[in-house]
Amino acid sequence: MKLLVVGSGGREHALAWRLAQSARVQTVYVAPGNGGTARAERIENLAITDIQELIAFVKQEKIAFTVVGPEAPLAAGIVDAFRAAGLKIFGPTQAAAQLESSKDYAKAFMVRHNIPTAAYATFTDPEAAKDYIRQQGAPIVVKADGLAAGKGVIVATTLEEALGAIDDILGDGRFGAAGARVVVEECLTGEEASFIVMCDGKNVLPMATSQDHKRLKDGDQGPNTGGMGAYSPAPIVSPTLHNRIMREVIHPTMQGMAKEGLPYSGFLYAGVMIDDGPDATRPIKVLEFNCRMGDPETQPIMMRIKSDLTETFELALAGKLDEATIEWDRRTAIGVVLAAANYPEEPRTGDAITQFAKDTDECITFHAGTQMKEGTVVTTGGRVLCVTAMADSIRRAQEAAYEAISQTHFDGKQFRTDIGWRALPSSES
């Protein structure tokens, strides 16, 4: 069968790579794909981004089903359009994708359904927002309501920073329509985890647990990014916490969406903040919902899947996720992002990648911001590659990933040297 993956990042390379392992798959098309998917076996890039053109291609090539990687096409209604054309596509509808595309929608939804999250207020008027911030004091978090490519959240440690963020978003229109409203919320403390599940409208199948590192610099310092590295499993998510997140967050979300007439299908990613305490009682609060898998969390998660992922998607598309299981490799996988010079501000592009580590069963370089140009792979975006390795321990997986990175070269490459540190046994970190 032929499949289509929509997107061009490391997440989509990893999804396409795993799907292409299935003996039943002839070709996985990736639209528009990147320099890595351009040269992978049984994967082909498709230079189409327009939804109606994609629909025409899917009909013509008799694509069995489509998986959507990023949030933008979901928020633009790609699922609604494919379904209206009678095509199978895995992802939430435009209305359901508001869980990610509007932070105000997500917050109000959580309040309606008693899903634990930080206290908040929403504003369109800058003066009202500033009054609220002065009343609450710092630290405080300011978020543009709409999609802002991971840049719309300011965790302000001072009052000045928070007030400045209001001017940036509501005053200067830095985020366009996405910044017409701001959510101001309580600053939470604790450790973050990425809890990702597959949903079919009724049933839920959890993916392996994962954590990412959002800050640019070692020791989780520096500006927020889309994610500089990730690993799976996440030791913090004990069986007790896993059950609690399902019971306190995932099931109420699924039931709430169904009750409101928007049954949720697709990947659902809850970013949760886990505060200190015994697992049975420590506070768990939702920081955000994403209506897709995480990038780079997907890369280590895909590496750990041993069963046939096409079958999981087929069951999901038939509303039978209750019959699905995924067989997980027990080893730990870790993905380290190599970013371009000047990421995240204004990443430099056009650097040739002159050296790659050789892919093996345990170590793969997934591409993100790359393109093939006249036989050479060149950088085209902020996050360039994600070197992903799997081994018996987090320490060994780190060693393998960093060894592969030492064999990878492009000018200006930046990466963190401590991905996975939180998962190291406490005597080592």
Binding residues for ligand GLY, rule: CB under 6 A, are: 212, 226-227, 290, 294-295, 297
Q: Kindly state the helix (H) or strand (E) to which residue 373 belongs, with its residue range.
A: strand 370-373
- Residue 297 contact among ligand AMP, ligand GLY, none, beta carbon within 5 to 8 Å by kind: ligand GLY
Task: Check: CB of residue 207 under 8 Å from CB of residue 196.
Answer: yes
- Regarding 118 and contact with ligand AMP (CB under 6 A), the answer is yes
* Encoded amino acid at 13, one letter: H
Yes or no: say if 198 and 316 are a contact pair by the CB < 8 Å rule: yes
Instruction: Give which of ligand AMP, ligand GLY, none residue 224 binds (C-beta under 5 to 8 Å, depending on kind).
Output: ligand AMP
Phi, psi of 160 (to 5 degrees): -60, -45
Q: Decide if residue 192 touches ligand AMP (CB under 6 A).
A: yes
- Tell me the CA end-to-end span of the chain in Å, nearest whole number: 46
Nearer to ligand GLY, 213 or 413 (CB): 213
Residue number, 136 or 224, with CB nearest to ligand GLY: 224
Which one of ligand AMP, ligand GLY, none is in contact with 263 (Cβ closer than 5 to 8 A by kind)? Answer: none
φ, ψ for residue 308, nearest 5 deg: -85, 110
**Closest by alpha carbon to 158, among 133, 183, 188, 129?**
133
Distance CA(310)–CA(262), nearest Å, equals 25
Of 86, 98, 168, whose CA–CA distance to 130 is shortest?
168
246 forms part of the interface with ligand AMP (CB under 6 A): no
Smallest distance, Å, CB 186 to ligand AMP?
6
Alpha carbon 410 to its chain's center: 25
- From the list 38, 72, 138, 155, which residue makes contact with ligand AMP (rule: CB under 6 A)? 155
% helix, strand, coil for the chain, step of 5: 30, 30, 40
Per-residue interface string for the shown chain with ligand AMP, residues 193-232, x marking contact by CB under 6 A: ---------------------x---------x--------
Residue 13 binds which entry of ligand AMP, ligand GLY, none, with Cβ cut-offs from 5 to 8 Å by kind? none
8 A C-beta contact, residue 187 and residue 117:
no
287 binds ligand AMP (CB under 6 A): yes
Q: Is 12 in the site for ligand AMP (CB under 6 A)?
A: no
For the chain, the residue count is 429
Task: Tell whether residue 136 is a contact of ligand AMP (CB under 6 A).
Answer: no
Q: Are 198 and 207 in contact (CB under 8 A)?
A: yes
- Closest distance between ligand GLY and the C-beta of residue 58, in Å? 26
φ, ψ dihedrals at 324, nearest 5°: -95, 145
What minimum distance in Å lies between the beta carbon of 1 and ligand GLY?
A: 28
Paired residues of 272 in beta bridges: 193, 286
Question: Could you say which of ligand GLY, ligand AMP, none residue 248 binds, taking C-beta under 5 to 8 angstroms by partner kind?
Answer: none
Residue 196 CB, shortest distance to ligand GLY, in Å, is 9
Question: Is residue 187 within the footprint of ligand AMP (CB under 6 A)?
Answer: yes
CB of 224 to ligand AMP, least distance (A): 6
Sign of CA dihedral 409, 411, 415, 417: positive
294 binds, among ligand AMP, ligand GLY, none (CB under 5 to 8 A by kind): ligand GLY
Is 150 within 8 Å of 339 (Cβ atoms)?
Answer: no
Q: Is 341 in the site for ligand AMP (CB under 6 A)?
A: no
The site for ligand AMP (CB under 6 A) is made up of 118, 141, 143, 153, 155, 185-188, 192, 214, 224, 271, 287-288
